[in-house]
Structure 1
Amino acid sequence: MYDSLTVKMFQMKSDKLPIINSAWDILSGGGSALDAIEEGATVCEVLQCSGTVGFGGKSDEDGETTLDALIMDGRTMNVGAVGALRRVKGAMSVARHILDYTKHSILVGDQATQFALKMGFKEESLITPNSNELWVEWNDEYHCQPNFWTNVEPNPEEYCGPYKKLDTLGKQRTPQKRNVGIDKFNHDTIAMVAVDKNGDVAAGTSTNGVKFKIPGRIGDSPIAGSGAYADNTVGGAAATGDGDVMLRFNPSFLAVEEMRRGASPNAAARTAIDRIASYYPSFSGAVIALTKDGEYGVACHGLETFPFVVQDSTRETCEPVSINCS
């Protein structure tokens, strides 16, 4: 048994190495996988990785940034998660507090904020000048294009709301196409899986969701089995991509169950990705999988390449890896 850490990364730049270093320092020093996941994701939140994690970055269609995060303990099968967290920056740490100090698994919205304040977190705006500038441009210059509405009027492909549902009673319904392009700058998540010296597995995610989402939306990241999953008897997995689609298939759970059945991590991740692609061939996303013995695998779809980082006790330094998704 040896320590192992697999992390979905954004771009292989030196300013992202603190994410790996901080998490690996905990593992290599004998710390827990849970602590490593919390610390690594928190560093990414502070760094505002690619504008897709942490405060600022992507806002909803009202101009507000909200946060989703999940952490799962593979020893106890306990989960802490937060969805649509408002006005509190440390989403992963709030999720950890839900795991440690409640019997619940997920808290959302303003009530999650109130919980965080009781736990000593600070309430502050998550809007930054950059995120506000992007929202103003989307709202004023691009007339709310693209967005996530469908089967409403006025036509969401041409106008801003407010919208009302189409009256389709007694009429043939013609669904409007989804007009949001999901790419690496619109959906990304910090997704991590770790095994510590005790053989305990943990997995976690953190994100600020998709750009200009409908307020209140949460994606796959804070959903156990979808965004991430961990089980000491097998290993763990985590996902990133088009969360509204991916959460319908619980890809992280499926990858872990495939490894339980004897599949390699690569094959397990591929099965999870292919299941989604068989229904949604144009979706984009990826799954990372890690066995309890430190073997890792990755599969992706709908992206040109997918970067991630691996570190374990057999390596002097972290290894950035990029696979071709086509």
Structure 2
Amino acid sequence: MRHLVWVALLLQAGHDVIAQQSPGLPMVINTWGGPFTVATDAAYEALVSDSRTSALDAVEIGCKACERHQCDGTVGYGGSPDENCETTLDAMIMDGGTMNSGAVAGLRRVRDAISVARHVLDYTAHSLLAGDLATQFAVENGFAEGDLTTPESALLCSQWKTRASCQPNYRINVEPNPSIHCGPYTPLSPPQSDSGTTARRDTNYPLVAPAVPRPRSHDTISMVAIHGSGSMAAGTSTNGASHKVPGRVGDGPIVGSGSYVDSDIGGCGATGDGDTMMRFLPCYQAVENLRRGMTPRQAAEDVVDRMLRKYPAVSSGIVVVDARGNHGGAGSGWTFTYALRGGGMNATQSTTATGL
């Protein structure tokens, strides 16, 4: 029913589906307002202060500002510790002209994740490096290695283990019961499928993810920059989800999921339940929606609606901008905002996206 109503609204020839108008170029747009506007300002000011600053440079500068300022605690060092109390970083950067990209996943002990991703783009023929070997690559390229833990993130993890008995967490189909106990865990066999067709019946607790609060969705920064010449770039940086299973990688460093850009068409940034969202490549789909003639807002709403049809409880945020700077967004499960600054704007503006 939700989908049918939404389609009916799209068919109306009215103001409900037109895009937010472009403020002019150059322009920077990214997920979230509030503390994330430090990134918007850094990227925009880099573009207007020196015409030699490319869109790709601006995205790196903006995301790095968020990493350095630990935007909302969900970007950069000292945030979102995993089950072992370690913070790891994911980042991706993409050139909308060449469609080339560089990314790092599960980066350990190096703070400048977006810049390491840029080095993957600039100095390798690869698209993604991961884990300790991504760290080795970073160190070989002159990045400093150090502890990403802070007193605050260590305390957060300690309290999660001792006071909250490791609740909530991301474990399912294991023993001891993950809704009550900490690990170590042992897999149950066979696990219960999503459809519930296979399950062990000799236990007294649920084998599938129970309807209890999960760790809150992480507030990734995903940014799109448009140079005055019209060239575009996109990037994403995050420290992932709090209390994740060590080794987990979400949507952030995945091209087409955390962000995507094509200078001929437009770009997209995403945030939310990364493990769910990456199954839909939402930013790739959003840019393809623009290619098919949708407005940015229509493109974002379509992507969110696709996810809601399969996962009605998904928390998501999608911001979309076309090559001229017209923009729109949509989200679900929370109030999603995005920030933008362009043309001659003296300050960053925060916009609340459509909620579905």
> How many Å apart are 1:26 and its aligned residue?
1.7
2:292 is aligned to: 261
> How many Å apart are 1:245 and its aligned residue?
0.1
1:60 is aligned to: 82
Tell me the percent identity: 46
Q: When the two structures are aligned, how many residues end up with a matched partner?
A: 320
Which TM-score applies when normalising by structure 1? 0.94
2:214 is aligned to: 181
Q: Does 1:216 align with 2:260?
A: no
Report Cα offsets for 1:113-135 as digits up to 9, x if no partner.
Answer: 00000010000000000000010
Aligned to 1:278, the other structure's residue is in SS state helix
RMSD: 1.7
1:191 is aligned to: 222
1:27 is aligned to: 47
> How many Å apart are 1:324 and its aligned residue?
5.3
> How many Å apart are 1:46 and its aligned residue?
0.6
Question: Is contact 1:80–1:98 with CA below 8 Å preserved after alignment?
Answer: yes
Change in 2 beyond 3 A, CA 1:106/1:171 = closer
Aligned to 1:93, the other structure's residue is in SS state helix
1:6 is aligned to: 29
Question: Is contact 1:182–1:242 with CA below 8 Å preserved after alignment?
Answer: no
Structure 1 residue runs without a partner (length 5+): none
Answer with 1 or 2: which has the greater Rg.
Answer: 2
Structure 1 counterpart of 2:235, which letter? G
Alpha-carbon distance between aligned partners in 2 of 1:133 and 1:70, rounded to the nearest angstrom: 29
> How many Å apart are 1:2 and its aligned residue?
2.5
Aligned to 2:353, the other structure's residue is in SS state strand
> How many Å apart are 1:17 and its aligned residue?
4.1
1:41 is aligned to: 63
Structure 1 counterpart of 2:44, which letter? W
Question: Is contact 2:174–2:207 with CA below 8 Å preserved after alignment?
Answer: no
Q: In the TM superposition, what are the counterparts of 1:86-101 in structure 2 within 5 Å?
A: 86-101=108-123
Structure 1 counterpart of 2:265, which letter? V
Question: Is contact 2:41–2:341 with CA below 8 Å preserved after alignment?
Answer: no
Structure 2 residue runs without a partner (length 5+): 1-23, 192-196, 201-205
Aligned to 1:274, the other structure's residue is in SS state helix
Structure 1 counterpart of 2:260, which letter? Y
1:318 is aligned to: 348
Question: Is contact 1:69–1:221 with CA below 8 Å preserved after alignment?
Answer: yes
> How many Å apart are 1:143 and its aligned residue?
1.2
> How many Å apart are 1:9 and its aligned residue?
2.1
Report Cα offsets for 1:67-88 as digits up to 9, x if no partner.
Answer: 0001010101001111000000
Question: Is contact 2:330–2:354 with CA below 8 Å preserved after alignment?
Answer: no
Aligned to 2:330, the other structure's residue is in SS state strand
Alpha-carbon distance between aligned partners in 2 of 1:103 and 1:180, rounded to the nearest angstrom: 41
Query: 4+ residue runs of structure 1 moved beyond 6 angstroms?
Result: none
Alpha-carbon distance between aligned partners in 2 of 1:48 and 1:176, rounded to the nearest angstrom: 34
